[in-house]
Structure 1
Amino acid sequence: MRWPRQMMSLLFVLTLLAGPPIVLLSLVGAPIQGWPTAAQAQEWVQNPLTEQSLTAALTIAAWLVWLLLAYTVTIRMLTRLSTTVSWLRRMPLPTPWQATAGGIAGAAVFGVSSHAITAPPPPPTQPVAAGTFGDADNPRSSDRDLLANAGINVTGGWLPRDVAEQVSAAAALVWLRRRRSYRPHPPGPPSREDTDLAPLPPTVAAVQAALADSTPPPTEPVATSTGSSPLNRPTVGEAFARAGVGLTGLGAQDAARGLLVTSLLAGRHHPAVSVVVTRAVLAGLLGPIAESLERRLPGLAVIDHLTQAAEFFSGKHPGHGLAGRNQAHRNTQERTNSPGPTLIVDAASATDNAETLASLATASAAVAVLARWPAGQTWQVDPSGRTHHLDGSGSAGPRMCVLTQVTATDLLTVIAHPDPALPEPGASSPSRNPALAGRSPQWKAAQDHPVRFGNDKRRLQLRVLGEPTLLLDGHPVEVRRTAALQVLVFLAAHPDGADTRQLTDAIWPGLPRRSLTGRLYTTLSDLRATIRSRAGATLIEHSDDRYRLDPTAVTVDLWHFHHAVRDATTAVATDATTWKAVIDAYPGDLAARRTWPWLDPIREATRRHVIDAHAALASASPDARQALAWLQAGIRIDPYNADLHTQAVSALITLGDHDAADHLREDYTRRLAAAGILPTDTAFTTATLTGQPAIRTR
């Protein structure tokens, strides 16, 4: 029933526009009735505050207010009209085949039966914006259109679904590598400053959030990687011609960035080179950061001219260690029968080396020239990634992944080697077991010190360590909205509270904030109403645009955990009881099994406190078997941490159990391989576990 409200709004606006002029003209007359004479002007100067002059001033002010109102309404109408016209221009029209099929389907519907068919109403459409599935050109597209496009719109580009899944998998692998590389040190304050706890770029978070909603695979041709298993070396789009493709149009540069990112993501599980690109093209695509990323991107080979590319493909290139990598590429290619790398060059390289480029095209997964290419196909790419053949037919080609410079750089972050200029995580000396070195420090006996809620008189309890649960008098309270549960966990992790911007950016990353304020208010209102009706209390306080959990109404297990960490940090003497209290206060990972993008840094920081406590207890234990037990307990908390495995292997060797040490080493290597960490990554792990000097890899 929206049309009655719209009609009333229209009548109200018309009344505001027509009413004041009618009243002013009927009561006062025209605003200007000729210019004043010299005598009238002189009289007004001598006596300005007369009844006539005041009436004229008020009349002029009223007309100015009406003109401002009329101007505002006119601008709003023109803006809405322009938006509607732009949308109609971008609305896709059916092709002749689609029109024919639609006519046949319509005839079938009206001719089969006269019985009425009641169909369930379609689900309400959500606003399509950055970080969502759908068509960036048509924010009012239907659900059917969104499923047909089967891609993700992010701020500054569009990604096919399989590329988005590669990004999400690579992001998860980043956090696994950080967990593996962390070196425990003595427990510190709850607020950690580890450099590798920085969150991933916002574009990555937007992709992860968009993938939370299940969507069918793409139905339109997409120039991207294919292949069901991430461990298979896929091609970069079967739509690319072997002779290569020229890219022109407003989206050519963005499409080249998309091809670069897609190819590197597709080959990230293989030691072979995935992309060969000229230095000039890479600088144009990535800007000032190209030189830094050139050294840190696995699978990327940068050349100065196509002659080097020919030498590279033939295995004769001597520079930058490419010969060895090329040999690995040839070996991998022979084993997997996969195509060669993607080649991206500029117009000058293609024109000056046409024959060389043609020969390289037969050994490449794809060849892209950033200009019209007379020797091959040329596609015109629009900013949304849709392509059209410039062969006179004007036929549509596959839709390409398109990324702006900032967006491409954000996505490349998840596959780049760590910056060597940054300190390594946990750079301080790892805690070693002094008992294994023949030292037995004095320490107090550990006592059980579990965190309990039994003596707390507050009726509401929020548990976020493990499965997030809100309890009232010990009984779970149903939180109907997933966003409401996110709000509770987010505020539990931020006791000082969060404002509207922080909440919307965390829960709905990538979406325009102006469209989310109402959604946040609805979520909070529903949550408050639920708590008020069940407990008669206010769970969330709102003051100065900041929301926070009321500490007088709810007790939070994460806050108890931070209190235990603070006690262990500020303890004057080395007391195992305080470290044990940290472990007892940790029943599970923060919001276990939840994949909210904002959660990873906080979850990892919380986990590291527990790892530090286990390592500290193992280091202080005078008994080697007890130290091993603490290390094994720490490994159960984080089965990917290399330092804990190193100490556990050393403890087993010290105890003479070499078979158990070998089994632990092999199990750890298999676990890393199953998670998708390359054999080159496990070189550091193997060296560490065998007591050899550590070789840091990505």
Structure 2
Amino acid sequence: MLNRLLGMEDSQARWTSSSSNLVITPATEDALLHAEASIIASAKAAEEQDVMSTTTSAEPKLVLFADAAEAGQRLHADLAQVGARLVRAVLVGQWPYGVTLDIRADGHPLQHGSPITTPTLDPMPMLSAARCTEVLDKFAINIRTASVGVPTVSPEEPSAEPPAASKEAAPERLLPSVSVHQSATTAIARIGRMVIEGPAATVGFPRRTDAFHMLVLLSEHRQGLQRGTAYDLLWPEADPTIDRERFHGPLRELRGKLCRALGRPTSSGKIVIQRLASGYRLNPDLVTTDLWQIHDALTRAATATDPTTRHAALQAAVAAYTGPILNGSPYSWAETAARDLDQKITKALMQLADLETEPDAAITHLAAAIDIDPYAEHLYRAQMKLLAQHGRAAEIHKTYERLCEVLRALDTALRPASQTSDLYRRLTSTITPARPRPLKGLQNQERSRRHPA
């Protein structure tokens, strides 16, 4: 980045610093990691006291110079975490999250090629490459320059030895920074499967721990989960002012799992799960969940103005569903959340069946809806009507018999509702002749054969 700013793109200048006020890293990834560590260190004390940081200094504590294309979405997430209270960024290149300004050689800012006269955007002081080098020298910057592909070797050093710079240990390999077009570097929490899938690892929950329930609550409270709400839902008997670890323990565990899935150091936990005025929030630039995907897809389907778009959105919602959630959870809110999700998916499957032009596809959607909610008789009725439209009498019988078996498993006295049984008889009588019943005499004769006196 320094080479680019100084017009030295064609060189291999290596910059190091012995000053605590200036940190020069070999790559943008390392600079972002340093900035995140600074954010975490500044916010740690405030978070432990359970209050938001009240830093109000006029100048931020850290100014980051970086390439906008390399910093991308990851930097956007970091800046959203703290605003301008702790970090300010000077970026080179187009910034897709705000206004991009061009700075002329005389320091005047331009927007879309036109001068800006806003009073808050005065001409910026400019440094030539030579002057910048002088300023850097004051911070004990050492420059070792070589032409591309040819290492510099001083006369005192034997030619067989590499330059001193090459002896330095290579920086730890980090995952690439998240960019706008690199969705593969985000993690997705699949609540139905109890796993977090990320670019570095798939991390699971062996059981429904408090950390897993907290993940569900963060998914349900997308804009922010208040600590008091978490206590009310998970630990209503605990006093939040005394038993603070009841909340922060699962939070640390969940942050650690998300960092492992993303391939980030555990120190980035407060970036992955942010603390905002609205509460604790999964960082949407780094994490998504299957519940969010389902909600967003259903919203698109509800607002779609044409059948093709609506069909695609409903398909996306159904594809994101990975099965029932929170089975066996001891919390009443969990049972409600699970039931609401299943109802949304079964409704989406019914809507898909109505939109399908191929009978087999529509029948498959209704069968999938029945698998999710095997006690919903209206699904069986819809399935039988659809089968009747295509003359599939045998499958109508099987559908009705399945309902009877499901009800008998609950209680041997349960029978389908009259609305369902009447529909079954009406449909089967119009498609095929009613099945003839054996004559009473033949029944008795058959019994006598099997059970001789």
Q: Which category of TM-score, normalised to the shorter sequence, fits these structures?
A: 0.3 to 0.5
TM-score by length of structure 2 reads: 0.46
TM-score by length of structure 1 reads: 0.31
The one of the two structures with greater contact order (alpha-carbon pairs below 8 A, sep at least 6) is 1
